[in-house]
Amino acid sequence: MNGQQKLSEHIQRRENLTEDEVETFVDSFAETKIKKRQFIVQPDFTAQYRHYIVEGAFRAYVVGDGGNDHTISFAIEDWWITDYNSYIYQQPATMFVVALEDSIILRIPYEQEQELKKANHKFETIFRNMAERGLAFQQRRMIANLTLSAEERYDDFLFKYPHIVQRLPQYALASYLGMTTEFLSKIRNNKVRKKS
């Protein structure tokens, strides 16, 4: 199945569109191949695109004053990613978004998205629902970070995303879960010992 077919199915699961509407929506996206370690968003440059992942995996992160990086989000097949603050407000990005694997994405330029939204309220609904789901997810993550132990956060991630844990570098997952790589390693080793 090619990228446009995947996006078409993704959209049709979320909104009742006619064939023509699906075609108009999907035709607004251009397919791009991205190499592992290639950046699609970098700080100080405005994020020009919203990206839909056809194949591959991405990591969004920021770098703190001490040089430590902090993972904000991951994205794999059938997920979306960009620096949303930069993209929505068309101002310089504060995050890096980098490919963790050789990947294929479909991307839509900011101006094209605005045209879609003006042309059809269903398209506006699609993007609004995306934003609402993203906001709800960020809230759940923030609450988990404040109320769960490090081990509970790891267990929760493992339970929700068992299919992607092995695809993520340990340092990136540790950073996302708010712990050191060494501590994540310790948690994993303890779990292995408990199983045996």
Amino acid letter, 178:
G
101 Cβ contact list (under 8 Å, min separation 6):
36, 56, 57, 167
Write down the pLDDT at residue 196.
62
pTM of the model: 0.92
Alpha carbons within 13 A on the beta-carbon side of 146: 6
Q: How far apart are CA 58 and CA 62, in angstroms?
A: 14
Rounded to the nearest integer, the mean pLDDT of the chain is 94
Percent of the chain with pLDDT over 70: 99
User: What one-character DSSP code corresponds to residue 29?
Assistant: -
Place of tokens 């059809």: 120
Token pair of 102 as six digits: 């050789």
